[in-house]
Structure 1
């Protein structure tokens, strides 16, 4: 670690319309360190690093690289100065090999024979502990392997600062451990890593230094070694005590709201279960084991191939032939900025996507009433900023999710399908989402599809484990023996 910073940010400010993303931020980044930017969704972490990486220009403030003041207008300029960023959405050419992606855009890169390119990339990958096959086509790789390719692209360009934006969101636990080992290796060889995160345990595991952002400003900066508990870190981040442990009030189960019998749909095979009002049934499993086709079938996006699906007492086809906007089914998709909302529409129009019938008299839309209702809901669900004229893309992931929940709960559904409802959310937003789901359980049945076992354990009344399209088991969330064996079940190994 050197005494002088590799990068110095001084009094950086940035606004998007009426939303101030960064306010007078001063921050140093040193060689040989892993520096974590920690904060709630919408705290300004990604915006600040996007400024350093040349994606955005600051409204005010200065950037110094090795003591020399710089102002980047493009990402290419930042890359030329040794600053590179791996974004949450990877920028790879799927049809090319790993080696071709690493060499893409590099001067004289494609004059080399493919085998020479692969040899160079393999040597680089071995140097930094990034396990990936240079000859593999990108479309065949896991999300963790694709992320390693993005990191290799920056290392190949000899970048001194690597910015990783929420890098663990799409990774399995094993891939997270592999990433952290690689990060430590990279830092040990004199490079600086900026790790953007809201996950407290990961921050404590990998960080050397921690800078905490809240509402666009740095509120604390400290060595990671001085933090001794997640509770302390959460309090510093949120400004209050946050404990993700809920006391579920008992709700007596009511009538069935969903009955599935021997369902076949794509990879889903012979799935049977029922869900009653007043309970949460969590479907857990490794991503890609049939969760998406199951959800799409129940939500009317694909037809059952075989078997029966009854929703609110009606056969699947009859239910969807006369679907009501209120008092029926609400779907909270995993893709909150795409399927759940339209990024370029304001919050009022996004609110109307599934509630329009409630604000129409004949063909006349009462937009004023819809705007007043949307404003009330943003307040009730603690959506920030609370301006309903903002476009969906201007909200952080957590605030956008709360807006989707507000819209769907306004419809007073009796069946809720919640798909990865807290994925990518900070601890405070997760706490709010969980409380909203538990409250909704009092009047609805909830099918919770999640890859977060802690979420399933905290919220569910029953748990179903899915593997290769089949339910391995369904059991009460109070069954400790079954909970202890959930790992083997997720891997497809039946237990006695």
Structure 2
């Protein structure tokens, strides 16, 4: 194989946000025909560095060389012209537009392209890379996984030669992730330079040609992927200590039902029945867009069931959500942490009060000082970085924001926890902590875990429910090896007894 060319060279890049030094004198080369994995703990500066390359931020100091020539990327438009494209961890789509309109937004060839022609081009592009999606669908109606495919298609349509992916498989099933990997390898084989930001060490080892590791805003290690021999070795290089993603799930005494659904239906759900008891974790798995979102919205009171019965903590759906309690009730950890879980322009104290204000208010006054003290304690306990409750939510990395949401919701001491992709975007060290916290929470709560990560589901869950087409295909104990081996088939709609 001929020596690859450095299409991008970062030299001495530094970026500071207030008291936070996100990047400190970073130098890095990105080569054509290679996949470079960028690793680091939450807040290490990975996304900031790549956002600078994508023209979203201007560096405070340093140079960006493209094909050996210094380039000043003042905006994302400049980056696009230079052939740089990025799929962000938090999607940048116009919800009211269709898939095809989003893909072509800002890059229409010529004065006019008919909607039919746009849809056909997007359909052909999606099929060529195995990214199944309806070009005519409205983005607002898509699941998070489907929205991610739209972001990827935007890059593919733009024919960017330097492609940056920030946690691209966070909401994908293993099958979807494999399809993405095939597309990335194909792009690299055609000479494109790819940067892959991920916390999933197995993915990195399977996909990357070379690995760069950031810690506290600096590159601490850079090496060929072939020199890394195990995930534990990679985790140790990243975190600076031994990390073992192993859990000891001791069986809990099952107590009262905290959730019961019988034959629940709406425009998406089809006769869904399930139950959850205090002391257990029920994991719901399935390909994105098969009803998980509607299931969560019904359980959390965001969408009323049209048919069937929902019982939450011994009360009917209508009674429970007419006067929900801030403590000892239901806590929801949403998948869309930037859009639903927090307000980006508010500080961490006000974000803490979003779901806890009933506990920090008298009949007239809000006890903000008391809330601030508790929020500070939680920030330290959950190792949120930076540990400053005066920071606005938008100043935190995605993983640290997730830790803040988890801290807030566990503080409410819920008896029912709905955790939707709770470790999405977290590093291995933080995942270890979240898993331990969820397992400990079973003592007081039942946990409905909605996850696209099968390894997470099988590590934590007592029972697994597989969804397809808005229905529960099967529910079974997580230690039923025969059914576990068929999860992939069930996620494609095959009934569990079809191969018997």
TM-score greater than 0.5 by the shorter chain? yes
Residue of structure 1 in register with 2:278 after alignment: 277
Q: Which moved more, 1:265-274 or 1:470-479?
A: 265-274
Q: Structure 1 residues 132, 92: closer, same or farther in 2, change over 3 A?
A: farther
> 1:301: which partner in 2?
302
Structure 1: how far apart are the matches of 2:285 and 2:114? 45
Specify whether residues 280 and 95 from structure 1 end up closer, same or farther in structure 2 by C-alpha distance, changes over 3 A only. closer
Partner of 2:50: 49
Query: Partner residue of 2:153?
Result: 149
**What is the deviation of 1:308?**
2.2
Q: 1:68 to 1:251 in 2, by over 3 A?
A: same
Q: 1:437 to 1:134 in 2, by over 3 A?
A: closer
User: TM-score when scaled to structure 1?
Assistant: 0.90
Match of 1:434 in 2: 435
Compute the displacement of 1:49 (Å): 1.4
Bigger drift between 86-95 and 288-297 goes to: 86-95
**Could you tell me how far 1:212 is from its partner in structure 2?**
0.7
Is the CA contact (8 Å cut-off) linking 2:40 and 2:46 kept in structure 1? yes
Compare 347-356 and 413-422 and name the one that shifted more: 413-422
Mind listing any 5+ residue stretches in structure 1 that lack a counterpart?
none
> Are 1:225 and 2:226 matched, yes or no?
yes
- Residues in 2 aligned to 1:330 and 1:122: alpha-carbon distance in whole angstroms: 39
Q: Work out whether residues 143 and 170 of structure 1, in 8 Å CA contact, stay in contact via their aligned partners in 2.
A: no
* Residue in structure 2 matched with residue 59 of structure 1 by the alignment: 60
Note closer, same or farther for the CA distance 1:313–1:209 as it changes in structure 2 (3 Å cut): same
Q: Specify whether residues 288 and 99 from structure 1 end up closer, same or farther in structure 2 by C-alpha distance, changes over 3 A only.
A: closer
- What is the CA-CA distance between 1:327 and the residue it aligns to? 1.2
Question: Matches of 1:305 and 1:37 in 2, distance apart?
Answer: 46
Distance 2:272 2:118 in 1: 47
1:68 aligns with 2:76: no
Are residues 1:192 and 2:193 paired?
yes
1:30 aligned partner: 31
| C-alpha contact (below 8 Å) 1:416/1:444 kept by paired residues | yes
Name whichever of 332-341 and 129-138 sits farther off. Answer: 129-138
Mapping 1:242-257, distance limit 5 Å: 242-257=243-258
Find the residue that maps to 2:341 and give its secondary structure: coil
5+ unaligned residues in a row in structure 2: which ranges?
none
Instruction: Say if 2:355 is the partner of 1:354.
Output: yes
Structure 2 length-normalised TM:
0.89
- C-alpha displacement of 1:100: 9.7
Matches within 5 A, 1:87-486: 87-88=88-89, 89-91=91-93, 101=103, 104-105=106-107, 109-110=110-111, 130=129, 136-137=135-136, 139=138, 142-143=146-147, 146-155=150-159, 159-486=160-487
CA-based RMSD:
3.0
| Deviations, residues 412-460 of structure 1 (Å, cap 9, x unaligned) | 1111111121223222222211111111111111111222211111111
